[in-house]
């Protein structure tokens, strides 16, 4: 599930209250309130600039403090239902429902989503139904793959998730193929720069590959690579 708007949804007074409820020092909570206060925004299009408008809520984009404050603001999400089945990364939240049958886990997932939607309505947070993805895992092949409900929308199961590219058979094949293709595209660009008479030095090209190609190729390596003893992924 994806938080729609993310930083824009954070309310100043609610954030201060949340920090105090979480046990943070009072001066830190007051600093967060001051950090969000007195802000305004203007829109510029070509040579036209609109007058400034005061902002009633929202964390500023680009500040290193904003992601941290956003995570603290949405922390209650991970205490809803079964906390062991909640996982988050930035503004994305994953829910894991475990049961004996696919119908049971489908009902649990729909209930968990409804619980999150209710929490969001009470806290000014909405979840983008278009970005909600569903996947079923089973030891045996499923005869049916029921849809999970998000508000009035039925979300049918996917074979692969964008959330680290997990495949329904618990393989990272889709993830590896996707990032390998991205790394290859970057490598082709670098090759185009070096395919000249007066190109960069080999040492500079090697540094560029290490800085631009390898990080893309190895994205999420800690999650899917089993180590040097098992170089293959299934």
Task: Name the strand (E) or helix (H) holding 222.
Answer: helix 221-224
Closest CA to 154 of 134, 168, 136: 134
How far from the centroid of its chain's Cα atoms is residue 136's Cα? Answer: 20
- The token duo for 15 is 């954030």
Task: Give the mean pLDDT of 160-166.
Answer: 66
Task: Name the strand (E) or helix (H) holding 181.
Answer: helix 173-194
Closest CA to 52 of 38, 66, 34: 38
Neighbouring CB atoms inside 10 A of 2's CB total: 19
| Coil, helix or strand at residue 49 | strand
pLDDT at 187 (0 to 100) = 92
- pLDDT digit string, tens, across residues 25-55: 999 999 999 999 888 888 999 889 999 888 8
Closest CA to 8 of 54, 48, 58, 49: 58
Q: Please, are residues 14 and 123 in contact by the beta-carbon 8 Å criterion?
A: yes
- pLDDT digit string, tens, across residues 7-33: 888 999 999 999 999 999 999 999 999
Q: State the Cα–Cα distance between residues 58 and 144, nearest whole angstrom.
A: 43
Neighbouring CB atoms inside 10 A of 194's CB total: 13
- pLDDT digit string, tens, across residues 179-230: 899 999 999 988 888 776 777 888 888 999 999 999 999 888 877 777 766 6
Express as a percent the part of the chain with pLDDT over 70: 92
Q: Please, are residues 5 and 11 in contact by the beta-carbon 8 Å criterion?
A: no
Q: State the Cα–Cα distance between residues 87 and 214, nearest whole angstrom.
A: 27
- The token duo for 50 is 């609109």
Return the residue matching tokens 């929308």: 153
């Amino acid at each position: 599930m994806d938080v729609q708007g993310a930083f824009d949804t954070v309310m100043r007074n609610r954030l201060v209250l949340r920090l105090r409820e979480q046990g943070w020092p009072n001066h830190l909570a007051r600093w967060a309130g001051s950090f969000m206060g007195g802000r305004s925004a203007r829109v510029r299009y070509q040579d036209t600039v609109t007058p400034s408008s005061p902002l009633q809520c929202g964390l500023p984009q680009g500040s290193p403090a904003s992601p941290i404050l956003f995570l603290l603001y949405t922390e209650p999400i991970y205490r809803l239902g079964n906390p062991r089945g909640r996982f988050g990364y930035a503004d994305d939240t994953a829910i894991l429902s475990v049961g004996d049958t696919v119908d049971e886990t489908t009902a649990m997932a729909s209930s968990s989503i409804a619980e999150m939607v209710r929490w969001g309505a009470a806290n000014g947070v909405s979840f983008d139904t278009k970005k909600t993805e569903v996947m079923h895992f089973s030891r045996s092949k499923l005869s049916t793959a029921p849809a999970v409900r998000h508000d009035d929308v039925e979300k049918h199961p996917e074979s692969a998730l964008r959330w680290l590219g997990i495949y329904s058979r618990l393989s990272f094949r889709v993830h590896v193929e996707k990032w390998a293709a991205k790394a290859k595209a970057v490598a082709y660009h670098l090759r185009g720069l070096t395919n000249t008479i007066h190109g960069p030095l080999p040492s500079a090209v090697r540094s560029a590959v290490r800085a631009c190609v390898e990080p893309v190729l190895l994205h999420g390596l800690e999650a899917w690579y089993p180590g040097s003893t098992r170089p293959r992924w299934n």
